[in-house]
Structure 1
């Protein structure tokens, strides 16, 4: 976690070309989470680029700058940035895989639900997808957003102490925007027909693991579950990261082989 404008190079948007020494796999779009940055997924992207994937890891609008800027950013801009990145990769590969952590998982699901972009998405890898807020928080947000500008941060929920580059405050108006995104995504879950790898931390202090259960029982595509027993919310930086990356690679290869 860092203060505003104190982000490193790894927090910027990143593009990884497939290594020339391995067989090309295709295009992979990775979507980071709420208040976070591409740093949280950079290891995942580098791992899969080394395996032959062309990886696009955009910085979502309102992120990596100031939490006050995020407070002014509607959820449609996050979705639009992900959609634009998907079209860019698909222009070179025909169809792509999409992965996401937390709110990035919700944005990945939104791509697979949208009839304009669903044909571009071959598969999803979702890590602790945030598709709902706690009920009390969701009820209070419409009023709270006009009373309190920010609350405590949610970043760096890891069992190994790894730091996530993210805002040191959580803008309440942006949480309300995320709630609206989540509501839209929940309505369309049954429209997701591609295969899904669903990785869920057993202990998560940010997103209720029951969000993964909701995704698993509602989407129409085949679902493969992966329990992350040694990691908290930001599993891509935690103890289970090597396991997650290996299972992600095997899953995506199996989908490609079947196709």
Structure 2
């Protein structure tokens, strides 16, 4: 539930990977992926995003700029110690990764997105703001996982003010997707109960990356990093990282 970092070893020690969790989620959703890569020598960092890992109310007190700022802080630490750095993002963590990549594409070796978030259909930021004025908490959207008995240890409710801030970040980022020019690998669950496929389509069409590929996941829901297709994500991401290192 906290920030986690593990130094690499061997030939891959100087290759860093930053793994970013989703909205109302926690580092637990990215930890198995990070450990898989670390076991293969990569230096890994899994940040706890501001407003997470404590109480849902805290997510109503965060400004959206704090999320990419946290990622950038950890990214700069990796850039100082590593020769190549990749960022992996799940859901809102994917949106945050894209936001950072609009400014850091030249410093990054690649980005890997799993069911990334770039918009919410029919709910612009202004509507979310109105909702947040009279309803501070809504029903949780977490733990959309096909495997039984698995949890990402996220919040059990959805902070409405936090949603407003999230939508502001996504709106800002979507307008700047053309500034993302880094090689991109994207995993998309065919059956995702949290985000529609339009998120993946907008990103694939909007980024300025010359190299971009999409891999379909047929046996996982939204939190695919903890689901039946996790090994597909882990192994293909390793191959992607190897090919760009």
TM-score (norm 1): 0.90
What is the CA-CA distance between 1:138 and the residue it aligns to? Answer: 4.8
What is the CA-CA distance between 1:54 and the residue it aligns to? Answer: 0.4
TM-score (norm 2): 0.95
Could you tell me how far apart the structure 2 residues matched to 1:252 and 1:232 are? 24
Counterpart secondary structure, 2:38: helix
Please tell me whether residue 179 in structure 1 is matched to residue 167 in structure 2: yes
Could you tell me how far apart the structure 1 residues matched to 2:82 and 2:133 are? 44
Structure 2 spans left out of the alignment, 5+ residues: none
Counterpart secondary structure, 2:170: helix
Q: 1:59 aligns with which of 39, 48, 72?
A: 48
Q: 2:72 aligns with which of 61, 83, 97?
A: 83
Q: Which runs of 4+ in 1 moved over 3 A?
A: 22-25, 136-139
Q: CA RMSD in A?
A: 1.3
Could you tell me how far apart the structure 2 residues matched to 1:79 and 1:23 are? 26
State whether residues 94 and 120 of structure 1, in contact with CA within 8 Å, keep that contact through their aligned partners in structure 2: no
What is the CA-CA distance between 1:16 and the residue it aligns to? Answer: 1.7
Could you tell me how far apart the structure 2 residues matched to 1:119 and 1:195 are? 10
What is the CA-CA distance between 1:110 and the residue it aligns to? Answer: 1.1
Counterpart secondary structure, 2:222: coil
State whether residues 203 and 229 of structure 1, in contact with CA within 8 Å, keep that contact through their aligned partners in structure 2: yes
What is the CA-CA distance between 1:25 and the residue it aligns to? Answer: 5.5
Structure 1 spans left out of the alignment, 5+ residues: 1-10
Please tell me whether residue 129 in structure 1 is matched to residue 116 in structure 2: yes
Q: 1:97 aligns with which of 86, 90, 114?
A: 86
- Residue 188 of structure 1 corresponds to which residue in structure 2? 176
Q: 1:224 aligns with which of 204, 213, 230?
A: 213
Q: 2:158 aligns with which of 145, 170, 195?
A: 170
What is the CA-CA distance between 1:118 and the residue it aligns to? Answer: 2.8
What is the CA-CA distance between 1:196 and the residue it aligns to? Answer: 0.3
1:156-205 deviation per Cα after TM superposition (whole angstroms, max 9, x unaligned): 10111221100111100000000001001101111111110010000111
Please tell me whether residue 153 in structure 1 is matched to residue 140 in structure 2: yes
Please tell me whether residue 238 in structure 1 is matched to residue 238 in structure 2: no
1:203-242 deviation per Cα after TM superposition (whole angstroms, max 9, x unaligned): 1111112111111111121111110110000000000001
